[in-house]
């Protein structure tokens, strides 16, 4: 497949400001994509070369890219730098210089998707000092046969800044769109049901509903097999049948289940009845896969961390009584002398690329397992949680590193409170209460797990995770940083849109302002991004990609923001006195706090205030 087609689609997607159009454009691209290129097209759209868990880093430095552009276009490095200063986008610079080359008819458009992927893959595997020249050569080679539009995206991809704003849900919607006819033919009863419930008046609504059903099926597979490239390839090769034999596979991470929150033990018992209440450890969430002598460790956002935690790899080999299995838990550093848990600020020191063995000796981790998804290739996810926990207990053999989480079974809110207080005074973060009968719900936040953290009180003391959708120019003292504040959004998972909830101007350190400005400048757009819903217009729009943790005093109703605003109504929700705490690199934008959660937090906040006033 010619890369030209992909670059053309990228160009259209970039200009779109409506999510529906983005889906249609993606579907049209997929229709033209042959099965053998499908994987790579999906990865390119995700801004990657392989699924996230393969850790193939693509980001090249600006300096190197500047040299490659200069070499491919015949301009000097200084020319490129000067133009870059003006436009702020090296993709644009490459495109303009290539345009001049086109006018002199010096370009042959021969670039294929395969070639682009191949060169970037080579680039990604080259490491070390002496490889600089080779990297410039590989990139210049691509630019040499790029049209101006292709060049723009080759450069942006190289820098890790595509600015498309396409998310996995949108990709899945587009895949569903492509296979809609086949799905309708195979599911006539469902189509009839939707037909009847929708009435004849709204054909678009009917199509939307059917597409949603198919997307749910695709998503269910993606949740247990987090490689969208391979899924899309199978769909293209075999149609919907391609999904049938996708199942759990050691080495391919499962998208994690997420916890809901409630403010009081009483509410939790009301919701779950008799449940398992576990200690909530504050460390790294790890998914451990074992297959014979091979062990993989994945982080919460599915990166491969196997090299970072050698003692856990060792322990998995020795302490997990299975040939293959997939388990999940929280790892944290424990003071070996006192057996006390270290706070997260200490555990986080284990997240490093160098001096791993020394740090592992200094701060060994303990892994507290809380779930098991498969044993000896049997998928246990559909089993009720109490059965999985029994199996997990039997799976763990005695040893220094791996243990089962501490927990009790109860239906009394007084006991929940007591357990909570014991845990908090023991230095833990709180508790997680779990539905005894729930299956493992991959990739979703349902009321199977409910957390209660020590910071919950009447006011909004729990933090929220927001997605940056824009920024404001610095005024006064902040002029020098180029950034004075952010516009941030929560995620509406039903509509797959980011809806504005607050502007944030406090909590930033000077370093943070400078870093954010550098980062966000690479991802600005000159129109509202397609998946953003906001009436407030920032100084610059930013592709919804980065998550930040924010603390606020309260959630209020507000006419200004779109979060939680129902159709035809004028108020949504906003945060009062928001302040930024840090960036959450471990979260994808779709893992941010949702509109649903904000509404629930707003209601809880009111309820707790009433309780406290009593």
- Which residues are known catalytic residues? 280
Torsion, Cα of 248, 46, 587, 317 (10° steps): 30
- Three-state SS for 177-228 is HHCHHHHHHHCHHHHHHHHHHHCCCCHHHHHHHHHHHHHHHHHHHHHHCCCH
∠ CA 178-181-185, rounded to 5°: 145
List the structure tokens of 77: 């490095």
Query: Minimum distance from CB of 309 to ligand AMP (Å)?
Result: 15
- Residue closer to ligand AMP by CB (options 154, 464) is 464
Contact positions vs ligand AMP (CB under 6 A): 259, 278-281, 285, 300, 330, 370, 405, 432, 449, 451
CB of 369 to ligand AMP, least distance (A): 9
Q: Which tokens hold the place of 430?
A: 């709180």
Nearest approach, Cβ of residue 424 and ligand AMP (Å): 13
The residue behind tokens 């690199």 is: 585
Q: Is 579 annotated as a binding residue?
A: no
Annotated binding residue 422: no
Q: Are strands 547-551 and 464-472 parallel, antiparallel or unpaired?
A: antiparallel
Q: Which is nearer to ligand AMP, 29 or 269 (CB)?
A: 269
CB of 260 to ligand AMP, least distance (A): 9
Of the pair 23, 347, the CB lying nearest ligand AMP is at 347
Instruction: Kindly tell me which of 285 and 528 has the beta carbon lying closer to ligand AMP.
Output: 285
Q: Among candidates 519, 502, 518, 520, which has minimal Cα distance to 580?
A: 502
Closest distance between ligand AMP and the C-beta of residue 149, in Å? 41
The reply to whether 344 sits in an annotated binding site is: no
Strand ranges across the sheet with 445-453: 258-261, 445-453, 430-435, 275-280, 407-410
Provide long-range contacts, Cβ within 8 A and 24+ apart, for 492-496.
492/533, 492/563, 492/594, 492/595, 493/169, 493/590, 493/594, 493/595, 493/596, 495/19, 495/533, 496/19, 496/167, 496/169, 496/170, 496/173, 496/531
End-to-end CA distance of the chain: 68
Unique residue bearing structure tokens 């820098």: 159
User: CA–CA separation, 614 vs 609, rounded Å?
Assistant: 9
Q: Three-state SS for 289?
A: strand
> Which residue, chain included where needed, has tokens 């350190």?
509
The SS3 call for residue 373 is strand
Q: Which is nearer to ligand AMP, 173 or 330 (CB)?
A: 330
> Of the two residues 50 and 448, which places its CB atom closer to ligand AMP in the complex?
448
* CA proximity to 404, closest of 366, 368, 365: 368
Closer residue to ligand AMP, CB minimum distance, 281 or 296: 281
Does 300 belong to an annotated binding site? Answer: yes
Query: Which residue's Cβ lies closest to ligand AMP?
Result: 285
- Distance in angstroms (rounded) separating the CA atoms of residues 154 and 109: 14
Contact 86, 135 (CB under 8 A): no
∠ at Cα 528 (524, 529), nearest 5°?
70
In the complex, what is the shortest distance from the CB of residue 374 to ligand AMP, in angstroms, rounded to a whole number?
Answer: 18
Name the one residue in this structure whose structure tokens are 């919607």.
173
Asked if residues 297 and 384 have their Cβ atoms less than 8 Å apart, the reply is no
414 is in an annotated binding site: no
Is 370 annotated to bind a ligand? Reply is yes
Identify the residue whose tokens are 């302002």: 513
Backbone angles phi, psi at 452, to 5 degrees: -135, 115
Assigned token pair, 483:
């950034």
Q: Is 451 annotated as a binding residue?
A: yes
Nearer CB in complex with ligand AMP: 83/300: 300
Nearer to ligand AMP, 242 or 283 (CB): 283
The binding site for ATP consists of 278, 285, 300, 330, 370, 445, 451
């Amino acid at each position: 497949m010619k890369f030209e087609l992909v670059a053309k689609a990228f160009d259209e997607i970039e200009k779109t400001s409506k999510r529906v159009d983005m889906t249609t454009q993606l579907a049209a691209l997929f229709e033209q994509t042959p099965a053998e290129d499908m994987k790579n097209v999906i990865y390119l759209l995700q801004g990657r070369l392989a699924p996230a868990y393969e850790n193939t880093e693509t980001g090249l430095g600006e300096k190197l890219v500047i040299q490659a552009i200069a070499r491919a276009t015949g301009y000097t490095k200084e020319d490129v730098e000067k133009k870059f200063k003006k436009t702020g986008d090296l993709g644009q610079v490459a495109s303009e210089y290539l345009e001049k080359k086109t006018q002199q008819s010096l370009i042959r458009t021969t670039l294929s998707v395969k070639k682009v992927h191949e060169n970037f893959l080579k680039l990604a595997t080259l490491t070390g000092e002496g490889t600089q020249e080779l990297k410039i050569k590989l990139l210049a080679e691509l630019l040499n046969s790029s049209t101006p539009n292709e060049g723009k995206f080759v450069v942006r991809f190289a820098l890790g800044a595509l600015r498309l704003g396409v998310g996995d849900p949108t990709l899945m919607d587009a895949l569903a769109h492509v296979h809609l006819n086949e799905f309708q033919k195979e599911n006539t009863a469902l189509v009839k049901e939707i037909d009847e419930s929708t009435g004849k008046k709204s054909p678009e609504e009917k199509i939307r509903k059917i597409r949603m059903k198919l997307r749910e099926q695709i998503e269910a597979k993606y949740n247990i097999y987090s490689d969208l490239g391979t899924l899309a390839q199978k769909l293209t090769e075999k149609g919907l049948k391609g999904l049938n034999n996708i199942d759990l596979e050691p080495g391919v991470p499962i998208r994690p289940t997420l916890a809901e929150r409630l403010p009081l033990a009483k509410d939790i018992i009301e919701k779950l009845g008799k449940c398992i209440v576990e200690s909530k450890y504050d460390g790294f969430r790890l998914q451990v896969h074992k297959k014979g002598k091979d062990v993989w460790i994945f982080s919460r956002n599915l990166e491969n961390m196997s090299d970072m935690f050698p003692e856990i790899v060792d322990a998995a080999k020795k302490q997990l009584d299975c040939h293959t299995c997939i388990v999940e838990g929280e790892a944290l550093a424990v003071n070996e002398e006192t057996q006390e848990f270290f706070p997260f600020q200490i555990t986080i020191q284990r997240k490093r690329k160098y001096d791993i063995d020394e740090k592992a000796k200094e701060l060994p981790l303990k892994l507290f397992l809380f779930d098991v998804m498969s044993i000896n290739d049997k998928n246990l996810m559909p089993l009720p949680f109490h059965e999985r926990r029994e199996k997990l207990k039997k799976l763990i053999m005695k040893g220094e590193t791996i243990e089962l989480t501490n927990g009790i079974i109860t239906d009394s809110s007084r006991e929940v409170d007591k357990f909570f207080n014991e845990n908090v005074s023991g230095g833990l973060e709180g508790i997680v209460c779990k539905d005894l009968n729930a299956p493992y719900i991959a990739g979703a936040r349902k009321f199977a797990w409910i957390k209660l953290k020590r910071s919950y009180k009447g006011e909004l003391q729990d933090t929220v995770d927001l997605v940056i959708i824009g920024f404001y120019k610095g005024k006064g003292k902040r002029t020098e940083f180029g950034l004075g504040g952010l516009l941030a959004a929560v995620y509406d998972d039903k509509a797959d849109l980011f809806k504005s909830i607050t502007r944030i101007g406090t909590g930033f350190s000077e370093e943070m302002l400078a870093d954010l400005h550098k980062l966000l400048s690479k991802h600005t757009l000159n129109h509202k991004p397609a998946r953003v819903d906001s009436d407030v217009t920032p100084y610059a729009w930013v592709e919804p990609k980065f998550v930040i943790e924010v603390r606020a005093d309260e959630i209020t109703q507000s006419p200004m923001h779109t979060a939680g605003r129902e159709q035809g109504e004028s108020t949504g929700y906003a945060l009062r006195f928001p302040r930024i705490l840090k960036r959450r690199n471990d979260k994808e934008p779709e893992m941010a706090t949702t509109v649903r959660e904000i509404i629930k937090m707003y209601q809880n906040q009111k309820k707790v205030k009433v309780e406290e006033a009593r």
